[in-house]
Amino acid sequence: MLPENAITIYNIRSELPSDLRNLTAASLLAAIEEAQAGYTANLFAIYRDLIASDNQLQSEFAKRKWAVTGDTVSIQPWDKNSHLDVATKDICAPLLDSAVFNDACAWLLNGTLYPVAVVEKVYRQTPDGFKIKSLIPVPYRLLDYRDGILKIFDTDKDGTVLPTTHIADPARYIVHRGHTLPIPDTWGGPMRSILFWVLLRTMGRQWWADLLERFGMPFLKGKYRDQAGKDVLEKAFRMALRLGGIVVSQNTEVEITQAAASDSSSSHNLFIELCNKEISKLIVGQTLSSTADSTGIGQGAAPLQGEVRDDIRKADARHLSMTLRNQLFMQLCAINGLAGNAPNVLFGADSAADMFKLVASVKHLYDAGLEPDDEGLETIQERVGFGIRRRAAITPAFPFSATPLSAVPETPSSSHVDRLAASYTAHDEAIQDIILRSTSSGEALRRIKEYVRAHPSADASEIVAEVMEAFAARALRGRQ
């Protein structure tokens, strides 16, 4: 049945409360075990809290999604030579400029770190056929795997979550998995490996504070000669904790020793940087976009890390494009009775370096006497991200031109030759007389123009060219 009414009605009060203050390794492992059993709400709530409160995780995740949503989106027919495929492209293209499509793409890209992302499709009927009315993100609180398959919790009209569930019907829902991990959705997806780095970094702050509290303050060291002196020093040290000072005799030796190591703060900073780098490597595939580290002489590692990031962006765009085509555009074309193939969605293009290499390769082909065929042009068009076409050949202009034999036009028809010969015979003597009577080349050209205007002809350019060429040839022969 075609979905024309939304059933994803969600009240934010149904969200599970944040429990970050009580997050420990034990509670984190308990949430993972619950998710593996099918109840993923607590694990997804931890994901939500960490993304909302951790600046490193939030910024890197945003970069991962912006790399795709920030590119230009285009749509192309499956086969440009098929009018049926062109018709399907025309009905799907208006959706790309809508806000609901952009929001849906941003939500579906959550599936790059989350195990899955779900969007509800709602259609509306118009005089021109069925159109997309809305694309509604399905909150992770509503996902349920207790029966071993993906189901959605039902909600009432106020958005309160009910205990009943329904299957995620492909006719109503888009289900996107933007990763390639060979693990079930209930195991948490790529985000699971980030949890412990965030936990260690957060707990490391408390451990560092405990270190500074215990060893960061100087302590007293006293020397005694007998038991009586020892008792006096111990009593004085106990009093020093309350008074903040110590009173001893002149002959008593007391030293203040600094126990804080010089690297107590730098070691904590190194640990935080390690956690941040591991988070960045998993999300965006490199660390240079978040940390300006030196990469050595020649900066050779920078292009390599940039290539890794581009590979991730291309993979995310391709996975999202396939999901949209198979689960949205195919259905949109089918319900409108179109027989053509669903169009392709293209996000952005190759990087500047890749485009430069591609254009250079095409130029080398041209130098070798080769050129891409029509199918090759389509591939190049997809990679550069905009439409391209073959450049028209430039026709050489008279008189400073040289046409190769391969480019000489075919012999004109006999009727054209006869007409040109008649015109040539009629005007040859008049133009020759003008040239002979002129005192300069400028005067000759001016008088020829006046003559042509007074005696219009469809072949005026050919006549003038032929006459001047013949006259020049006769003049040269006369001088020999």
State phi, psi for 119 to the nearest 5 degrees. Answer: -130, 135
Residue 189, domain member (yes or no)? yes
* pLDDT at site 299: 54
Confidence tier at 474 by pLDDT (50, 70, 90): low
Inform me whether the pLDDT recorded for 111 exceeds 70.
Answer: yes
Inform me whether the pLDDT recorded for 38 exceeds 90.
Answer: yes
* 152 and 13 within one domain: yes
Higher pLDDT, 107 or 357: 107
* 296 and 189 within one domain: yes
Mean pLDDT value of segment 6-29: 89
Which residues, including other chains, have CB under 8 Å from residue 160's CB and lie 6 or more apart? 11, 14
Residue 35, domain member (yes or no)? yes
Residue 389, domain member (yes or no)? no
* 155 and 77 within one domain: yes
* 284 and 191 within one domain: yes
Residue 207, domain member (yes or no)? yes
d(CA 51, CA 460): 77
Q: What percent of the chain has pLDDT over 90?
A: 31
Residue 67, domain member (yes or no)? yes
* 465 and 334 within one domain: no
Work out the angle at residue 51's Cα, subtended by the Cα atoms of residues 48 and 56, and round it to the nearest 5 degrees: 165
d(CA 42, CA 363): 57
Higher pLDDT, 331 or 451: 331
d(CA 466, CA 478): 18
Higher pLDDT, 369 or 263: 369
User: Considering 348, 368, 397, which residue would you say is the last residue of a domain?
Assistant: 348
Alpha-carbon radius of gyration of the chain: 40
Residue 435, domain member (yes or no)? yes
Higher pLDDT, 131 or 432: 131
Mean pLDDT value of segment 148-164: 93
Residue 248, domain member (yes or no)? no
What DSSP line would sit under 167-208, residue for residue?
Answer: E--TTTEEEE-----SS-GGGT-TTHHHHHHHHHHHHHHHHH
Domain with 101, as residue range(s), is 1-214+276-348
d(CA 176, CA 322): 9
* pLDDT at site 263: 56
Mean pLDDT value of segment 194-219: 68
Confidence tier at 303 by pLDDT (50, 70, 90): low
Token pair of 81 as six digits: 């030579």
Inform me whether the pLDDT recorded for 90 exceeds 80.
Answer: yes
Higher pLDDT, 217 or 179: 179
List pLDDT tens digits, range 332-383.
Answer: 999 999 888 999 888 876 666 667 777 778 777 777 877 777 777 777 776 6
The dihedral over CA atoms of 293, 299, 302, 307, expressed in degrees to the nearest 10, equals -170
User: Considering 348, 373, 397, which residue would you say is the last residue of a domain?
Assistant: 348
Token pair of 250 as six digits: 């002149």
Q: Which among 213, 215, 308, 194 has a CA at the least distance from the CA of 258?
A: 215
Question: pTM for the full model?
Answer: 0.66
Residue 86, domain member (yes or no)? yes
* 343 and 465 within one domain: no
Kindly report which listed range (7-21, 115-129, 223-237, 397-411) carries the lowest average pLDDT score.
397-411
d(CA 36, CA 189): 11
Q: What percent of the chain has pLDDT over 70?
A: 70
| Top mean-pLDDT range of 246-260, 310-324, 411-425, 434-448 | 310-324
Which residues, including other chains, have CB under 8 Å from residue 333's CB and lie 6 or more apart? 88, 91, 92, 340, 342
* 74 and 156 within one domain: yes
* 426 and 325 within one domain: no
Confirm if 317 and 348 have CB atoms less than 8 A apart: yes
Kindly report which listed range (15-24, 225-234, 286-295, 359-368) carries the lowest average pLDDT score.
286-295
**Greatest extent of the chain over all pairs of C-alpha atoms, in Å:** 143
* 468 and 328 within one domain: no
Inform me whether the pLDDT recorded for 254 exceeds 60.
Answer: yes
User: Considering 325, 348, 371, which residue would you say is the last residue of a domain?
Assistant: 348
CA atoms within 13 A on the CB side of 440: 3
Higher pLDDT, 284 or 103: 103
State phi, psi for 312 to the nearest 5 degrees. Answer: -65, -40
Cα dist from 315 to 63, 321, 400, whole Å: 15, 10, 53
Mean pLDDT value of segment 74-85: 86
List pLDDT tens digits, range 375-422.
Answer: 777 777 766 666 677 776 665 555 555 555 555 555 555 555 565 566
* 142 and 29 within one domain: yes
* 285 and 429 within one domain: no
Beta strand 344-347 with 73-76 is antiparallel
Higher pLDDT, 399 or 186: 186
Confidence tier at 322 by pLDDT (50, 70, 90): very high
Token pair of 321 as six digits: 């494009």
Task: Write b or e for each residue in 436-466: b if 16 or more Cβ atoms lie within 10 A of its Cβ, otherwise e.
Answer: eeeeeeeebeebbeebbeeeeeebbebbbeb
Mean pLDDT value of segment 114-141: 93
* pLDDT at site 217: 60
State the chain's mean pLDDT as an integer: 79
Domain count, the chain: 2
Higher pLDDT, 179 or 461: 179
Peptide bond just before 399 cis, omega within 30 deg: yes
Kindly report which listed range (209-223, 315-329, 403-417, 419-433) carries the lowest average pLDDT score.
403-417
List pLDDT tens digits, range 42-68.
Answer: 999 999 999 998 888 899 999 999 989
Higher pLDDT, 126 or 480: 126
* 422 and 342 within one domain: no
Inform me whether the pLDDT recorded for 213 exceeds 60.
Answer: no
Inform me whether the pLDDT recorded for 76 exceeds 70.
Answer: yes
Kindly report which listed range (24-33, 163-172, 411-420) carries the lowest average pLDDT score.
411-420
